[in-house]
Amino acid sequence: VGGTAAIPSGFGKPDTGIIALVSFRDLLFLGTGSHTKNDAELWVSRDWGLTWEQVAGERVAIRLALGSQSHYLQDLIVFQDVLYAAVGNPEQGAEIWRTRDGWTWDAVVGVPSRYPAGMGHTDWDMIFAMEVFRDHLYAALTSFKGETTGVLWRSHDGEVWDVVPLEEPFAASSHQHGF
């Protein structure tokens, strides 16, 4: 739209893209990643996107599941006044993290939490989307590698998750990303 970019392309990394964006507690959060590298990062802006500060990733000590194997921060969503981050991890399985203040993060899915990464299935390495619908948070887990069909999980409180049974054609294994 004109003007000068607030950040360099790819946040200074050639194969990194902006994947998720959400406002939370008067802050703007942005998730980045790459399908070819371990570049998942979380950034925050306090001034409507004019300047950015890294919250998590390789240049910041805060882990937020963005270890050496996390390729992308796939989705960001607010549910019940809590910010959730979906992180793709092709080695250990997808993870979901959350924060009540934007700075302190806890695992919801992944270590350490009650649910293992990928909901116990390492092939579910990507959370394709999260959405709030009728007082539930939904997470669509799938395989970036295309080795398994996707699965839909939901939670009424962000703590307890249940699988949502899918009927044909959504349960068919021929669908890339499961859906």
pLDDT digits (tens, 9 = 90+) for 94-123: 889 899 998 888 888 887 788 888 888 878
Neighbour tally for 51: CB within 10 Å: 11
% of the chain with per-residue pLDDT over 90? 28
Q: What is the pLDDT of residue 130?
A: 96
Residue 129 or 69, more confident: 129
Q: Supply the DSSP symbol for 165.
A: P
Q: Using an 8 Å Cβ cutoff, are 97 and 122 in contact?
A: no
Give the confidence band of 142 by pLDDT, cuts at 50, 70, 90.
confident
Q: Could you read off the pLDDT of 152-168 as tens digits, one per residue?
A: 999 999 999 999 987 75
- Residues 96/85, Cβ–Cβ less than 8 Å: yes
Strand partners, 43: 30, 54
> What's CA 70's distance to the chain center, in Å?
10
Q: How confident is the model at residue 62 (pLDDT cuts 50, 70, 90)?
A: very low
Residue position matching structure tokens 């703590």: 159
CB-count exposure of residue 72 (10 Å: 0-12, 13-18, 19+): buried
What count of other Cβ atoms lies within 10 Å of the Cβ of residue 156? 13
Is the backbone peptide bond immediately before 169 cis, with ω within 30 degrees of 0?
yes
Check pLDDT > 90 for residue 176.
no
